[in-house]
Chains A and B, each alone.
Chain A
Amino acid sequence: MSEKTESKAKNNAARPPSFWRRFGMQFGIWGVGIAMWLVFVVTASEAFTSKDIYLAFASSTPLFALMAIPLTLIVITGEIDLSFPSVMALATATFAKIYSGTGNIWLGFLGALIVGTLAGYFNGWLVTYFAIPSLVITIGTGFLFRGIELAWMNGTGVGLTDKELSGVANLLVGRSFFGIANQFWWAVVATIILWFVLNRTQFGAHVFLTGDNKTSAQLMGVNVSRVKRRTFAIMGFFAAFAGLVASFEVSYFWPTLGEGLLMNSIASVFLGGTSVFGGIGTVTGTFVGSFIIGAINAGIVASGINAFYTQVFFGLVIILSVIMQAVISKRIKR
Chain B
Amino acid sequence: MSSNAPVIQLKNVSKTFGEVRSLSEVNLEIYPGEIVGLLGDNGAGKSTLVKTIMGFHKPDEGGEIWFKGEKITDWSVAKARDLGIETIYQERALCELQPIWRNMFMGREIKNKIGRLDVKKMKSEATRLMSEHMGFTSTAVHPDNAVLTMSGGEKQGVAITRALYFDAELVILDEPTVGLSLSETKKTLDFVQNIKKSGRSAIFIDHNIFHIYPAVDRMIVLDRGKVAGNYKKSEITMDELIESMYRVARTGSIKE
Do A213 and B96 touch (CB < 8 A)? yes
Q: Count the B residues whose beta carbon is within 8 Å of the partner chain — how many?
A: 48
Do B145 and A5 touch (CB < 8 A)? no
User: Is A1 in contact with chain B by the CB < 8 A criterion?
Assistant: yes
CA distance A212 to B111 in the complex (A): 22
User: Is B140 in contact with chain A by the CB < 8 A criterion?
Assistant: yes
User: Is A218 in contact with chain B by the CB < 8 A criterion?
Assistant: yes
B151 partner residues in chain A, CB cutoff 8 A: 1-2, 5
Do B97 and A16 touch (CB < 8 A)? no
User: Is A110 in contact with chain B by the CB < 8 A criterion?
Assistant: no
Q: Mark A138-167, 1 if CB is under 8 A from B, else 0.
A: 000000000000000000000000000000
B141 partner residues in chain A, CB cutoff 8 A: 14
User: Is B18 in contact with chain A by the CB < 8 A criterion?
Assistant: no
Q: Mark B116-158, 1 if CB is under 8 A from A, else 0.
A: 1101000000010011000001111110111011111110000
Binding site for B on A (CB under 8 A): 1-2, 5, 8-9, 12-17, 22, 199-202, 204-206, 208-209, 212-213, 215-223, 275, 279-280, 332-333
B117 partner residues in chain A, CB cutoff 8 A: 199-202, 204-205
Q: Which of B60-99 contact A (CB under 8 A)?
A: 76-78, 80-81, 87, 89, 91-98
Do B142 and A217 touch (CB < 8 A)? no
CA distance A200 to B107 in the complex (A): 14
Do B106 and A216 touch (CB < 8 A)? yes
Q: Which of A1, A209, A223 contacts B98 (CB 8 A)?
A: A209
Do A2 and B138 touch (CB < 8 A)? no
CA distance A143 to B131 in the complex (A): 55
CA distance A215 to B91 in the complex (A): 10
A222 partner residues in chain B, CB cutoff 8 A: 106-107
Q: Which of A1, A22, A202, A208 contacts B95 (CB 8 A)?
A: A208
CA distance A77 to B131 in the complex (A): 32
A206 partner residues in chain B, CB cutoff 8 A: 107
Binding site for A on B (CB under 8 A): 51, 54, 56, 76-78, 80-81, 87, 89, 91-98, 102, 105-109, 111, 115-117, 119, 127, 130-131, 137-142, 144-146, 148-154
Do A221 and B150 touch (CB < 8 A)? no
B101 to nearest A CB, angstroms? Answer: 10
CA distance A230 to B56 in the complex (A): 21
A202 to nearest B CB, angstroms? Answer: 5
Q: Can you offer 27 A-B residue contacts whose CB atoms are under 8 A?
A: A1-B150, A5-B138, A5-B139, A9-B139, A12-B138, A14-B139, A14-B142, A15-B139, A16-B144, A17-B142, A17-B149, A200-B119, A202-B117, A204-B117, A209-B98, A209-B106, A209-B107, A212-B98, A215-B93, A216-B91, A216-B95, A219-B51, A219-B56, A221-B78, A221-B81, A222-B107, A279-B97
A2 partner residues in chain B, CB cutoff 8 A: 151-153
Known: A5-B139, A208-B102. A22 touches B81 (CB 8 A): no
Closest residue on chain A to residue B50 by CB atoms: A219
Closest residue on chain B to residue A209 by CB atoms: B95
